[in-house]
Amino acid sequence: MAAALWSRTRKKQQRTSDEALIRALYEEHGRALLAYAQRLTGDHSAAEDVVQETLIRAWTHPDALVNGKGSVRGWLLTVARNIVTDRYRAKAARPTEVAESAATTPVAQDHADAVVNSMLVMEALDQLSPDHRDVLREIYFQGRSVAEAAKSLGIPPGTVKSRSHYALKALREMYRDKPTTARLVALKEVAV
């Protein structure tokens, strides 16, 4: 019983002495440590976190403070610099975090829908007349303007506009009764 009481008393005395040590360190070196950390981080709140972490490390390694090798302030500043360096390296090693919002799209989406949609478009194009198919390929797949498509196909621009209008109308008619693929044929008519 006496050993347990002595052990509790000893722990209480050690905790009190550790707290006194940290208070003394903060009172003597706290301002210089905060100024140094703020200069390294450029941020007051981050500097306060560095000072707190430095004092925690001093509390967990009290033997480093009283071993007589070098100054206490030098040890504290070195620890603070190492903490800042570790934080910088940790940030650099991680990818940049991006906040989620309705405006941002997921990085990777399932490509199955795109494959099915492209297969359906190819099938639908095969059902069009060759003249209509050629106009749509020039405008939508080659990304050409009406004038460029007309020149490539050797037909007047008005004919390109007319054929694209009727081709899109035919595609809409093909998919009118198919609700799952109705969103597929959202092809817009060529601007006049």
Among 36-40, 58-62, 178-182, name the one with the lowest average pLDDT.
178-182
Q: What is the mean pLDDT of residues 77-101?
A: 83
Within 94-191, residue ranges assigned H as helices are 112-127, 130-136, 146-153, 157-175
Terminal Cα-to-Cα distance of the chain (whole angstroms): 98
Q: pLDDT tens-digit profile of 125-134?
A: 888 888 998 9
pLDDT of residue 12 exceeding 60, the answer is: no
Residues present in the chain in total: 192
| DSSP per residue, 3-50 | HHHHHHHHHHHHHHHHHHHHHHHHHHHHHHHHHHHHHHHS-HHHHHHH
Q: pLDDT tens-digit profile of 54-76?
A: 988 888 887 777 766 778 888 89
On whether the CB atoms of residues 172 and 146 are closer than 8 A, the answer is no
What is the maximal distance between C-alpha atoms in the chain?
108
